[in-house]
Amino acid sequence: MKPSQEELLREARNNLRVGLLTGLLGGVLLGLLFATATFALNPELLDSVKDVLVLSLGLQAVYAVFCLALGLLGALGKTILFAFTGRSLSDTKTAAFVTGTVFFLITMTYGYLWCRWHRIGGLVPEHRPTMAELPVLLVVAAVAVLLARLLTYAFYLLIVHFKKPDRRQPGDMRKAFFVLLYMVGAFVIFLVVLQLTRPGENHFAGLSREDVVAVDHPVVLLGIDGLDRSDVERMLGAGRLSSFARGAKAAVTVGGQPIPPVAWTLVATGRTLEAHGIVDYQAQLVRGLSRPFTVSPNQVGLFQLFQDVLPFFRLTRPVPMRSYMRGSKGLWNIASDAGLESAVVNWWVSYPAEKVQGRMVSNQTFLRLVLEGKAGRESGHNSRPDDPDVGGSSVGAGSGSGMRSGSGSDGTKITDPSARSEDPHGPLRLEGQGETFPSSLLQELAPLADAAPDDSLRDRYAPVPPAPVSQAFAELSIPAEVVESDLFYARTTSYLLETGHPRLCMVYLPGPDVLRRLIDREITDPASRTEAWNRAFEAYWSALEPALDHLLADVHAMSARCILLTTPGQQLSPPDDPPEGYLGVTGPDVAPGALPDPFSLTDLAPTLLWLLGLPASTEMPGRTHVEILDPAGQNVLGEPRAIASYGRLEADVEDPGSQELDAPMLELLRSLGYIDR
């Protein structure tokens, strides 16, 4: 029997009231629950009352919207059922069911993320689950159902006790109280366990003198993204990269197509993403807080909430991954702990530049200089003076960290666009905002980013890319900045080697991978892709090769051991076999020939530390490949050693606070195919 219109309206009003009340109360409780977890795991937020209020109210608002939506959907479903059947479901059971459903969804999602992060049952954070992981997913679902059923039962008893006194049973309140008490206790224990098991939290006790072996030869790591093993072997066969033709070599296993920031942070730290915490190109900073705040990935559940849910409500703003978001020390931090000077150039997630013993050029330096150059041209200022003696200083003058004199090894002066002159069309003065350490280094490097450098720069570092390079890139719709940025960073590395005494130098060049991504996005035909890749890479390498030759000559002059590490990057077509990277090593005491065992990305850090005379950490899963040196070299360095931990990264940098580069950097990542949004 269908209800009358009056009965239908009365039922709809009642269902709406129950749905709103249930949703509002559930949202407030869930918001408090997640706010409590956030503050428990990030106690620094408690220093500001404003931050506590902003975050608490924001989380409660988010979950209130979520629970209200479910409550209103339940009210709509009840009303439709009543309209067609005349049957009215119990408000008490409906409210308890909605509560249990919400709890099941949250528990199921969290359980899945927890197992995936901790690699339980075959689940891994790098890949989506397959049918092989179905058993562990069923176990997670069963546990979620059990917990949701307990909570539903407790809420049902409470609702009956307060709303329907005539249906009360002796002991109902006691049962509900103990169920809720057990769940609160389990939540507290869970937070304690989560806090105690967070990776990378061991404190560093310090290296002893016995831990450090004096080494005569510096180590230079040249990382190139987007070259697989066959690419490098083809180049060696053509006489390119001849420095590595007679050294040690090995295939590098990379495991599919890793995300570049994840893979190259693993290389730099020797730790997997569970420890180093870099899982993507960008992070979300919560709006309205007194300090930049982001949740680390090891805070499973909260990380997904802050990265995926809060952005939907515009409560966060996206930023490129920051260096202080890394949870593990990089090789440059470890070298600084040991008193060794470092030079780090363009490594992924190196902005803001860290305070190291030495110099660091972050991965946002070229972008800042390009934007400043455009702004300078629009305002009538020069990116560099016409007179090489304007300002009276040369590149290198005035910077610290054990640098030599301002002039290069051949005594040539390089223009330094120093302080803004009285002439309104004079050079711009660049104020560092975390792009380099020390900040004055940004001003020194500005001439190296000029698309048409003066004669002294061309003679010293590399010629300007020839016209055919620009023509090939233009015809393939590839931005010239792809090669210009790598040229800048290669020139910068040579400059740092010539004007300092680094024992460790690390430079990353992404150009080939960027070419692959652009070609993959613009060209669909496989044969045309391959042809475009070959042409684009030939143009890229012909422009970069002189700068790399100069860099490798500097490496040879300082009697350094040089490691070439490449990863396959974006694949233009599905490979028949897992793609491999390439490892080449050259320098004093290097044993020529192929290594007997394959090389993993996790092996780089312990091997490089051994070459620096430093112990590895037992927290690093990789192994030390001593076979890259001949017996004489191995005898000097001795057996590989290990200490318990180098400790967590105590970031000695602050967010610059300026958002000037965030949007351009994200747009650059988007235009190059790294991110979709």
- What per-residue confidence (pLDDT) applies to 164? 66
Residue range 422-449: mean pLDDT, rounded: 77
Domain annotation covers residue 494: yes
Instruction: Say yes or no: 440 and 576 in one domain.
Output: yes
pLDDT in tens, 502-532: 999 999 999 999 999 999 888 888 889 889 9
Instruction: Say yes or no: 609 and 523 in one domain.
Output: yes
- What per-residue confidence (pLDDT) applies to 413? 35
- How many other C-beta atoms lie within 10 A of the C-beta of residue 274? 18
- What per-residue confidence (pLDDT) applies to 1? 63
- What per-residue confidence (pLDDT) applies to 577? 74
- What per-residue confidence (pLDDT) applies to 411? 36
Which residue in this structure is represented by tokens 């490949």?
A: 625
Q: Rounded distance, CA 82 to CA 105, Å? A: 26
- What per-residue confidence (pLDDT) applies to 395? 42
- How many other C-beta atoms lie within 10 A of the C-beta of residue 191? 14
Residue range 555-578: mean pLDDT, rounded: 87
- What per-residue confidence (pLDDT) applies to 555? 95
Question: Which of 359-373, 542-556, 572-586 is the least confident region?
Answer: 572-586
Which residue in this structure is represented by tokens 């800048």?
A: 488
Is the model's pLDDT at 415 over the cut of 50? Answer: no
State what percent of residues in the chain have pLDDT above 70: 84
Cα Rg of the chain, angstroms: 30
Tokens of 244: 């590595």
Residue 380: pLDDT band (50, 70, 90) is: low
User: Taken in order 423, 425, 426, 430, is the CA torsion positive or negative?
Assistant: positive
Domain annotation covers residue 204: no
Q: Rounded distance, CA 236 to CA 243, Å? A: 9
- Tell me which of 162 and 619 has the higher pLDDT: 619
Domain annotation covers residue 397: yes
pLDDT in tens, 454-500: 666 666 776 667 777 888 888 888 888 899 999 999 999 999 999 99
Which residue in this structure is represented by tokens 């093993």?
A: 229
Instruction: Say yes or no: 103 and 225 in one domain.
Output: no
DSSP codes joined into one string, 459-472 = HHT-PPPPHHHHHH
Separation in Å, CA 10 to CA 4, 92, 189: 10, 17, 46
Residue 273: pLDDT band (50, 70, 90) is: confident
Q: Rounded distance, CA 408 to CA 413, Å? A: 7
Instruction: Say yes or no: 51 and 102 in one domain.
Output: yes
Question: Which of 160-174, 291-305, 411-425 is the least confident region?
Answer: 411-425
| C-alpha closest to that of 164 among 81, 269, 92 | 92
Is the model's pLDDT at 284 over the cut of 50? Answer: yes
Instruction: Say yes or no: 145 and 235 in one domain.
Output: no
Residue 428: pLDDT band (50, 70, 90) is: low
Q: Is the pTM of this model over 0.75?
A: yes
Domain annotation covers residue 657: yes
Q: Rounded distance, CA 501 to CA 575, Å? A: 42
Instruction: Say yes or no: 157 and 251 in one domain.
Output: no
Q: Can you give the CATH number for the domain in which 601 is found?
A: 3.40.720.10
**CB 602 within 8 Å of CB 621:** yes
Instruction: Say yes or no: 192 and 228 in one domain.
Output: no
Question: Which of 9-13, 187-191, 545-549 is the least confident region?
Answer: 187-191
- What per-residue confidence (pLDDT) applies to 409? 35
pLDDT in tens, 329-351: 999 999 999 999 999 999 999 99
- What per-residue confidence (pLDDT) applies to 397? 35
**CB 321 within 8 Å of CB 665:** no
- Indicate the pairing of strand 580-586 with strand 248-253: antiparallel
Is the model's pLDDT at 56 over the cut of 60? Answer: yes
Find all residues with CB under 8 Å of 612, minimum gap 6, and list them: 215, 219, 335, 338, 340, 503, 504
Tokens of 629: 């040196």
User: Taken in order 535, 538, 544, 546, is the CA torsion positive or negative?
Assistant: negative
pLDDT in tens, 610-665: 999 999 999 999 999 999 999 999 999 999 999 988 887 876 666 665 667 788 88
- What per-residue confidence (pLDDT) applies to 213? 83
Domain annotation covers residue 664: yes
- What per-residue confidence (pLDDT) applies to 412? 36
Domain annotation covers residue 289: no
Instruction: Say yes or no: 99 and 190 in one domain.
Output: yes
Residue 279: pLDDT band (50, 70, 90) is: confident
Is the model's pLDDT at 386 over the cut of 50? Answer: no
Q: What average pLDDT does the chain have?
A: 81
Is the model's pLDDT at 556 over the cut of 90? Answer: yes
Domain region containing 109: 5-196
Q: Rounded distance, CA 605 to CA 269, Å? A: 6
Q: Which of 127, 161, 196 is the last residue of a domain?
A: 196
Q: Rounded distance, CA 323 to CA 649, Å? A: 10
- How many other C-beta atoms lie within 10 A of the C-beta of residue 477? 12
- Tell me which of 445 and 420 has the higher pLDDT: 445
**CB 605 within 8 Å of CB 276:** no
Instruction: Say yes or no: 133 and 245 in one domain.
Output: no
Domain annotation covers residue 211: no
Listed in sequence order, the DSSP H helices in 118-259 are 134-163, 172-196, 229-237
Find all residues with CB under 8 Å of 536, minimum gap 6, and list them: 472, 473, 476, 478, 515, 519
Q: Rounded distance, CA 107 to CA 147, Å? A: 8
Within its chain, how far is the Cα of 558 from the centroid? 32
Residue range 205-221: mean pLDDT, rounded: 81
**CB 320 within 8 Å of CB 258:** no
Instruction: Say yes or no: 263 and 378 in one domain.
Output: yes
Residue range 291-312: mean pLDDT, rounded: 81
Which of 372-376, 416-420, 649-653 has maximum average pLDDT?
A: 649-653
Domain annotation covers residue 153: yes
Find all residues with CB under 8 Å of 328, minimum gap 6, and list them: 200, 269, 270, 271, 275, 276, 277, 648, 649
Is the model's pLDDT at 384 over the cut of 70? Answer: no
The count of structural domains within the chain is 2
SS (H, E, C) 508-530: EECHHHHHHHHHHHHCCCHHHHH
Instruction: Say yes or no: 482 and 396 in one domain.
Output: yes
Residue range 51-70: mean pLDDT, rounded: 88
Q: Rounded distance, CA 154 to CA 182, Å? A: 11
**CB 252 within 8 Å of CB 565:** yes
Instruction: Say yes or no: 111 and 245 in one domain.
Output: no
State what percent of residues in the chain have pLDDT above 90: 33
- Tell me which of 662 and 379 has the higher pLDDT: 662
**CB 529 within 8 Å of CB 523:** yes
Kindly report the backbone phi and psi dihedral angles of residue 455, in degrees, each rounded to the nearest multiple of 5, phi listed first.
-60, -40
- What per-residue confidence (pLDDT) applies to 130? 83
